[in-house]
Amino acid sequence: MKETREFDKTLEDINNNLTEKDAKSLLKTIYGFINTTTTGEGDYQVKVEVVDKLSSIYNRIPHLIEIRQSKTIE
């Protein structure tokens, strides 16, 4: 159930709080990881690591939004 709440929170923050600059940066990062994985010498383990890194990025979005919002309040 915790994973579902985290997933929902991440989607909510993406839909409501992610700026265009954030989205472009995220897409560039994703493209870089995928391009390196598909064109490089990586084996299955490298692909698993890339998926884990991308998952970590998405899981940090709500925290990053909270940091930004707290800075704008100050």
CA gap 6, 22 in Å, rounded: 19
At a CB cut-off of 8 Å and minimum separation 6, what does 53 contact? 33
Angle between helical axes of 20-39 and 44-73 (0-180°, round to 10): 170
Confidence of residue 70 (pLDDT cuts 50, 70, 90): confident
- Contact between 13 and 65 (Cβ < 8 Å): yes
CA gap 40, 38 in Å, rounded: 6
Confidence of residue 68 (pLDDT cuts 50, 70, 90): confident
- Using DSSP's 3-state secondary structure scheme, residue 43 falls into coil
